[in-house]
Structure 1
């Protein structure tokens, strides 16, 4: 993606490490009278990018929560997570890291830059930071529902922020992205260093802003189809247009800059791939299967474990009979994917299937599937050919009468290992296998959460919020219909 990537281990250490709760002043955590009170914008950007990617691809958050809720993985010795017992420490770390490190870094970046707004490149720097903020806020809103937004960083005047309505946040984020597209000037500089995603390339950040608007629009397609159609029709031609445009954070094969969940220094045995994933990929002879999973220790074949199978289940075989995720997925240099060209094409395929003016749905669908296979072939140095990709497309053809299941199942496969995005799309699009037979199953050994039996729609708010920000917590809980994992988000219409 980038021709030149510098080491950023020392840069990342400048990220603010305050713990965000409703009743803590964020600016109190990063004061040291012997050190400068300002950090250079490029360091703040790196810290924000790395901290966000680290938590979104951590085994604790992506593994135990998102990859299991997407039904890509299921637990080996620790199985309650796939039975919907939420680890509150992992939940808190997700919220805290995104708010008090990533978002706080970006907020500081913009505030510092605003004091020197006449300097060349400042407008582009701020736009990049605000695009990053929009990406992170959408993840938070899609994970929890209503969240602190408009009052989140008013730390000197309000230490108990209200929770904004998630649908209102979406509209604000769309406005923000549109504004940054207008502000960004490709003839001006931006970041000369510190941007690990696009190396300061303003044109690519513009494309990403358009693409993030598409992601937000398609997520509201069943809740607000008129607005979704308007946004997609206005922005689709300026979005990511090839795998060369993919937005991703490139990790390095050197600590502490390795992919956050990798097996370069120790074997990782916490998760097996699910039979949901493996059996479906086998049924369509998907060439990515040998990348997504590895053979079990006791055979040369890939075997998934039925989702949500407890360690005491009498039908469960010994661990060596099941497959771990693939070596590329556990590589120290696995990129942290923010958004891909393949996802853009799946969005356009769905938009076209809904009758919106973005071109031919089958063409976009074929582009999306092809882009995903080509991406993984290059990344993992796989040996399947263009002919193999063409043959695969004939096995998973577009079907206008069954577009939700056809697009949904292939988009789900393409989002591996982006657990959060795959989970959001699973609950939003509500798809089955092409033809209508079920793809997903309820946890084999049952759910331990009486509020959710088949799939969680959200994570519950932090326990600390119930005591440190109780009034706003109660208001938010009531507004969304109850603080449970079974509560549907505003865009979940199925």
Structure 2
């Protein structure tokens, strides 16, 4: 965005500062800026943008989690059709490459943040060091949630001679991440060094503190299945520290298309094949229609008839809620028993002659999801309020779960406008929540409704990784797996990604120990906090 510091102008500086293997050299070469000269604040914008990349686009979420949790759907089927990874759990030729995307981006980002912290410590920039730690915990939690056991205690220490770090158990990773996060938050000071080039919060230490404690809330609740008392302790620390209090606190990573820093999911959804292949799922559209959710007209459209219009993201479709129809997961266009045309509710192909869109008049994401300058929704007030509602039902925190739920839904409607599209009016938001209050007839009924809303809200914010992780934690929404022929997960919804193939040759001993400890390295191996039931 124009109002943010240009990330592109920083790239020429970062070219000589971001390579891990030359970091020590940069601190000794008199022809290069050392720690006493180079301002580590210059590393923060690129690291922030990279964190957005970690949870979007082809690094994994669009190609895996978006359809595993049945927010999106596709008729893609193996071969060169890469969305088969997500919709049907069927490998495409590039699946091994997609598997390692999250791992590579996560550790690359963490390495950059680590370098920033080292330089910040040399300069006595305690706030920048703390922000680096908060971001690093956030990034590595994504990697751990995706794969399970990961290097943590010995990670990022190649300069200290550790080139094959041990994999820590996910339990140990979480314990250390949470304690590291707490220490970082305790070191933040409003009277300390000023953050410069902060594209997310513009140097506002109060907002960084809220983000850190909101992250603590989310990670603490991850422990619900395996350590309820520990989960409660961390949740209470987070609330005492101060979590998000309004949508103004949303952690959004800005994009800057003009200078080459586009939203990665938007990049993907601008590809003609992706525009055609990716539709909202039946589950999502039905969920929004059943409650007259005012977000439906903002997020979904039926494209005009014909193949050309279906492949053109510049063509505006019909966003009337009454005509929206979601694509069922698990179907193809190959003429057999799984062909979508055999589905009893198939709306029919559109167009005629050589301009037929055989996929049918299913709802696709609107242009806001193809907007390359759209922000990446890292963590929002809406999600935090809904997590507090979950925590209140479990007795972890005082307060009314119904009130938290109400504020979460209203916050979700408010933040939808940050995509740059239509807004939900205050009257429509109030009418919706009055018509759909939290079901408090039982704890299970409340948890079901809360976590279905988290699924919908995070998915509509295009944070499919978070929707998947929260589904693993709670079991909501209740999903029916796809069992397509040749799938790689035994007809079950994947619960992790296998480790990158390259790890077996570069860090084989540590990898084998982790696989043994976890009980396997496949798509359905349960990770530690996901193994409680």
Query: Normalising to structure 1: TM-score of the pair?
Result: 0.89
Cα distance in 2 between the residues matched to 1:256 and 1:364 = 39
The one of 387, 394, 407 equivalent to 1:354 is: 394
CA distance in 1, matches of 2:153, 2:69: 30
Q: Aligned-pair distance for 1:230? A: 1.4
Query: Structure 1 residue 265: deviation in Å?
Result: 6.9
For 1:462 and 1:16, the matched residues in 2 are separated by 26
Tell me the equivalent position of 2:470. Answer: 425
**Unaligned runs of at least 5 residues, structure 1:** 20-24, 433-437
* Residue in 2 that maps onto 1:69: 68
- 1:338 counterpart SS class: strand
2: distance between equivalents of 1:14 and 1:84? 42
Match of 2:524 in 1: 486
Structure 2 counterpart SS, 1:115: helix
2-structure distance, mates of 1:84, 1:158: 36
For residues 351 and 56 of structure 1, the distance between their equivalents in structure 2, rounded to whole angstroms, comes to 25
| C-alpha contact 2:332 2:340 (8 A) present in aligned 1 | no
Tell me, yes or no, if structure 1 residue 448 matches structure 2 residue 487: yes
Aligned position for 2:450: 407
TM-score (norm 2): 0.83
Cα deviation for residue 179 of structure 1 reads 1.0
From 119, 123, 136, the equivalent of 1:133 is 136
Q: For the residues of structure 2 that align with 1:275 and 1:198, how far apart are their CA atoms?
A: 37
Determine the C-alpha separation between the residues in 1 that align with 2:32 and 2:75.
Answer: 46
| Aligned pairs (5 A) from 1:144-163 | 144-156=147-159, 157-163=161-167
Map 1:86-485 onto structure 2 (within 5 A).
Answer: 87-100=95-108, 102-117=109-124, 122-156=125-159, 157-193=161-197, 195-237=198-240, 238-262=242-266, 267=272, 268-269=274-275, 270-298=277-305, 300=318, 301-312=323-334, 313-316=338-341, 318-377=358-417, 379-382=419-422, 384-400=424-440, 401=442, 402-416=445-459, 417-432=462-477, 438=478, 440-443=479-482, 445-446=484-485, 448-449=487-488, 451-485=489-523
Q: Contact conserved, 1:208 with 1:239, CA < 8 A, in 2?
A: yes
SS of structure 2 residue aligned to 1:262: helix
- Please, which moves more after superposition, 291-300 or 362-371? 291-300
Contact 1:353-1:361 within 8 A present in 2 as well: yes
- Structural RMSD (CA): 2.6
Q: CA deviation at 1:441?
A: 2.5
Query: In terms of mean alpha carbon deviation, does 263-272 or 287-296 score higher?
Result: 263-272
Report if aligned partners of 1:66, 1:419 keep a CA contact under 8 Å in 2. Answer: yes
The number of residue pairs the alignment matches comes to: 475
1:22 maps to none
Q: Could you report, residue by residue, the CA deviation over 1:260-317 in whole angstroms, capped at 9, with x for unpaired residues? A: 2326976442412111111221111111122222223338432221113233232345
2-structure distance, mates of 1:218, 1:12: 37
- Distance in structure 2 (CA, Å) of the matches to 1:293 and 1:28: 48
Aligned to 2:377, what secondary structure does the other structure show?
Answer: strand
Which consecutive aligned stretches of 4+ in structure 1 deviate over 6 angstroms post-superposition?
16-19, 29-34
Q: Deviations over 1:220-270 (max 9, x none)?
A: 112111111112123215101100001111113414022123269764424
SS at match of 1:414: helix
- SS of the counterpart of 1:329? helix
CA contact (8 A) 2:382 2:412 kept: yes
User: How big is each residue's C-alpha offset from its partner over 1:27-78, in whole Å with a ceiling of 9 and x where there is no partner?
Assistant: 1599787754665312222221112212421245221122122221223442
CA positional deviation for 1:13: 5.9
| Residues 74, 305 of structure 1: 8 Å contact kept | yes
Indicate the SS of the match to 1:211.
helix
Deviations 1:176-206 (A, max 9, x none): 111122111112233222x211111111111
Q: Helix, strand or coil: the match of 2:73?
A: strand
With over 3 angstroms needed to count, the CA separation of the structure-2 counterparts of 1:18 and 1:279, relative to structure 1, is farther
Equivalence map 1:16-95=2 (5 Å): 26-27=20-21, 36=33, 40-77=39-76, 78=81, 79-81=83-85, 82-85=87-90, 87-95=95-103
Q: 1:362 to 1:83 in 2, by over 3 A?
A: same
Runs (5+) with no aligned partner, structure 2:
306-316, 342-348, 350-357
SS of the residue corresponding to residue 61 of structure 2 reads helix
Structure 2 CA distance, aligned partners of 1:107 and 1:260? Answer: 24
